[in-house]
A and B are shown apart, each in its own frame.
Chain A
């Protein structure tokens, strides 16, 4: 088990372009989360999947953001028509299902997005 894996680690894009990030959770973790972290702040929740179902979305997740987890394994986060305010670290986390929400979350190394 290699932990939560995110790709790419860094992405620089021009304003208005679309970008897609990938997250591979720890195998057999059926819960997957996306967070966004700006400089000097703690991570903020974006969205949550249990298996392939997207069960919760934050108000931070505007219409330009979409996330999928098609087979309940890896997940993608797409940002359309990027804006400079989208520049941030995008973090993915996973946790196992143990009958409740009282489980430990494991994070990946993040994807740092810079919109120029």
Chain B
């Protein structure tokens, strides 16, 4: 069974710092990997989708990389802002017959201090 791990579980940084969130997965047979943001008590907002054939995707201050062979992805946030405070979740869609779902990590709770 695919397992997804996110380290660290929580991270606190001062405003303006660049930071990296880590995601690892046990089975490299995936269609894609998706990064989400979740504010307290809210649903998930999709940030970036990386296809299995891609190495990275960028959106504004966010850059996500994927190393499928080693089962790792990173989310880089440049020049962090207090509004970036949220929980960040990564999820993979495995290539398994009959598997039509995403496997999620437990998230990294980010706090950006003004």
CB pair B102 A109 closer than 8 Å: no
Q: Are A101 and B43 in contact (CB under 8 A)?
A: no
Query: Is the CB–CB distance between B32 and A45 below 8 Å?
Result: no
Partner of A109, one of B36, B43, B49, B106: B43
Interface residues on A, range: 20 to 34
Q: Which of B13-21, B58-66, B67-75, B93-101 forms part of the interface with chain A? A: B93-101
Contact partner, B106, options A6, A41, A112, Cβ 8 Å:
A41
What is the bound-complex CA distance between A66 and B46, given in angstroms?
27
Q: Residue on A with the closest CB to B39?
A: A109
Bound Cα distance from A105 to B51, whole angstroms: 13
Q: Is the CB of B102 within 8 A of A105?
A: yes
The count of chain B contact residues (Cβ–Cβ below 8 Å) is 28
Residue of B nearest to A112 (CB): B41
Q: Is the CB of A56 within 8 A of B4?
A: no
A22 to chain B, nearest CB (A): 14
A42 and B34 contact, Cβ closer than 8 Å, known pairs A101-B93, A107-B43, A112-B41: no
Q: How many A-B pairs fall under 8 Å by CB?
A: 70
A108 & B43 in contact (Cβ 8 Å cutoff)? yes
Question: Is B77 interfacial (CB 8 A cutoff)?
Answer: no
Q: Are B44 and A101 in contact (CB under 8 A)?
A: no
Partner pick for A55 among B34, B46, B100, CB 8 A cutoff: B100
- How distant is A32 from chain B, measured CB to nearest CB, in Å? 10
User: Are A110 and B106 neighbours in the complex by a CB distance under 8 Å?
Assistant: no
CB-contact partner of B101 in A50, A56, A107, A108, under 8 A: A56
Residues of A participating in the B interface, judged by any CB pair closer than 8 Å: 4, 6, 31, 33, 35, 40-45, 48, 50, 55-56, 58, 89, 91, 93, 100-102, 104-110, 112
Given A48-B101, A107-B43, 18 more A-B residue pairs with CB atoms under 8 Å apart are A31-B100, A40-B106, A41-B106, A42-B4, A42-B89, A42-B91, A42-B104, A42-B106, A43-B91, A43-B104, A44-B104, A93-B44, A93-B102, A101-B100, A102-B32, A104-B49, A107-B45, A108-B43
